[in-house]
Amino acid sequence: MRFLENNHRFARLFAVLLIPLVLFSVKPGSPALAAYNHPATWASVASHDFDRATQGPSVSRATLFEPSFSDATFSAILSDTDRRVPPTFQIPNEIRNSVGFWLRIYSQFTTHHIVLFDESHPEIVYEALDFRNVAESARSRLVYEVIVKNRVAATLKAYRLAFASLAKHPRPKSPTREEALILAATSKLPHRHSFHELAQRLRTQTGQRDNIVKGLATAEGYFPKMEAIFSKIGLPPALVRLSLVESSFNVNAISRAGASGVWQFLPRSGKEYLVIDSNLAVDERLSPLKATVAAGKLLKRNFRTLNSWALAITAYNHGAQNLRRFSSKAADFSKISHIFKPCTKRRHPVGWASRNYYAEFLAVLHAEAYRSLLYGDFSEPPQHSVAFRKLNRAQSAVSFALERGISLARFRRLNPDIMNLHKRLPRGFLVAVPDEADDLGQLTNAGRGQNKLRKG
């Protein structure tokens, strides 16, 4: 380890070759765009947002890394005992276990936990590897990742051996540690599965609690505006919480597939609704409010096509094409529940990531609704009113800001999509400016002219 620490170039090469920045997973699969598949990196988030939102004692080290609450609390949240979640998004019984699993991932386990569980019965958690002490003692991020990678690999190997042994001798007199954990966990299964089947379905998942806490600290300042946008478009305001699933509301999140911003639009899909132009040095995916309009239009189109919020939300991750055949049955969730149920005799029409996506949304929605129980009481973020205005002539952002008397630092915070303030922007381009009251009309009512500008 000392050699790695003293030889930084070799260490960086070592990291690139041996430690890809993806989740450790027993089963490889297609990269999903949900937050769990590209954990947020917070070094790039503007410090003023997080610092202001976390001044109180509620978002302390203990809040981030040492949560403590009972099973009864989880049960009450899943049942929505206080009726804080809209009836449209109550948890169907068919996927309650899946939602419960993701609720724990978002609230109980941090990014320093690796959870080992059964992918067809996510309520079966074998154990959670805890690397919090390693994170504190490791001399560098690289050393930490090497230790985590090696320990996870060794643990998975031990479990594979345990499953193989139990397949031959299901009632060992002196079970190993892993065999004992497997037997204890699988005793809760509602129906029988062979140990060979269970071995094939062993999966790992990194916790997301600290990412969600940090995301909420930023998102709470945006949510009222985002809800107003969705209401204007004709969508349930609660849907804005989907951005937490997509990116943990990391405003600078970039996935391995190239998806960007809090709503994680890919370049190709983003250009349908947003200006993404390297010549202009503009990427509207980076503007949480502009991207919210785009996400709203996509979700509304999905709902019109699929007749179900469960399918429309899943289509945000998976695409609508393969789900169209279920639209005629979509009004009754029980008739399409096999799409989302982790364990079913019917063939799943979508992959593991996509069939969990709706459960993740419901888990985040419930977690945010009961955030005071799970995360503590956040200090109220400052509310800054914003208005969107069209440029009445082609000009640079610097020129526009000077004319309006807006400091460049403030202009940058309001317009993160404009990456070069000296580039000349076209007439009709939408810019955000400070105002006495929110004015999102120009943003939500952008018509064909604005769409043409965006596609151009």
CATH of the domain at 37: 1.10.530.10
Q: Same domain, yes or no, for 88 and 231? A: yes
70-101: per-residue pLDDT in tens? 899 999 999 999 999 999 999 999 999 999 99
In a domain, 199, yes or no: yes
Q: Is the pLDDT of residue 194 over 70?
A: yes
Q: Is the pLDDT of residue 54 over 70?
A: no
Q: Same domain, yes or no, for 49 and 155? A: no
Q: Do residues 212 and 248 make contact, with C-beta atoms less than 8 angstroms apart?
A: yes
Lowest-pLDDT range, 314-323, 345-354, 429-438?
Answer: 345-354
In a domain, 361, yes or no: yes
Q: Same domain, yes or no, for 214 and 334? A: yes
Give the sheet arrangement for strand 202-206, strand by strand: 125-130, 113-118, 202-206
| pLDDT score of 52 | 42
Domain stops at, among 204, 223, 254: 204
For residue 145, what are the contacts with CB-CB under 8 A and spacing of at least 6? 15, 19
Domain stops at, among 354, 381, 408: 381
Q: Same domain, yes or no, for 416 and 326? A: no
In a domain, 292, yes or no: yes
Segment 376-384 mean pLDDT: 72
What does DSSP say about strands 276-277 and 282-283: parallel, antiparallel, or unpaired? antiparallel
Q: Same domain, yes or no, for 293 and 369? A: yes
| pLDDT score of 316 | 96
200-250: per-residue pLDDT in tens? 999 999 999 999 998 998 898 899 999 999 999 999 999 999 999 999 999
Domain stops at, among 381, 403, 428: 381
Q: Same domain, yes or no, for 361 and 212? A: yes
In a domain, 437, yes or no: yes
Q: Is the pLDDT of residue 6 over 60?
A: no
Q: Same domain, yes or no, for 285 and 361? A: yes
Q: What is the mean pLDDT of the chain?
A: 85
Domain range spanning residue 243? 25-96+207-381
| pLDDT score of 38 | 36
Count of structural domains within the chain: 3
In a domain, 2, yes or no: no
Q: Same domain, yes or no, for 57 and 182? A: no
Q: Is the pLDDT of residue 37 over 70?
A: no
